[in-house]
Amino acid sequence: MRERLNTSIQSASLILVAAGLAWVVWSNDTTMRDMLTYLLVTMVIIEGLSLYLIGRVYPESHTTFKTGIIATLLILLGIKIMLPDMFVPLTITVFAINFLYNFYTNGKRRKGSFKRKQGKKFM
């Protein structure tokens, strides 16, 4: 059940990013930097929720990658201030990497090959 909810959350985040970028294209009052800032904050919340839901089901490598994505999204907020010219391309790159990884993990999950290994208990 949590895995299905996670897939729905990831799909909603993709739709949200596409809608935000479309809003920038057709709206004259919002800039790309502003919309990406809103999307960064939203994506941090979505990725945190996703990690909470499936953190104990998926492998440790997935948890590590998602933690890195969350940290990268937060770092991008600092890059917005320090290197404003690099903010838009870096943000779009991080979004693309995140969504490609989400599709990859969803495909592996459907095949049943993306599970956490059971640790050995010492007694």
What pTM, to 2 d.p., does this model score?
0.80
**SS3 label, residue 113:** coil
So where are the chain's domains?
30-104
pLDDT bucket at 61, cuts 50 / 70 / 90 = confident
Q: Please tell me the predicted confidence (pLDDT) of residue 116.
A: 62
> What are the pLDDT digits (tens) for 87-123?
999 999 999 998 888 888 877 777 766 666 666 655 5
Length of the chain: 123
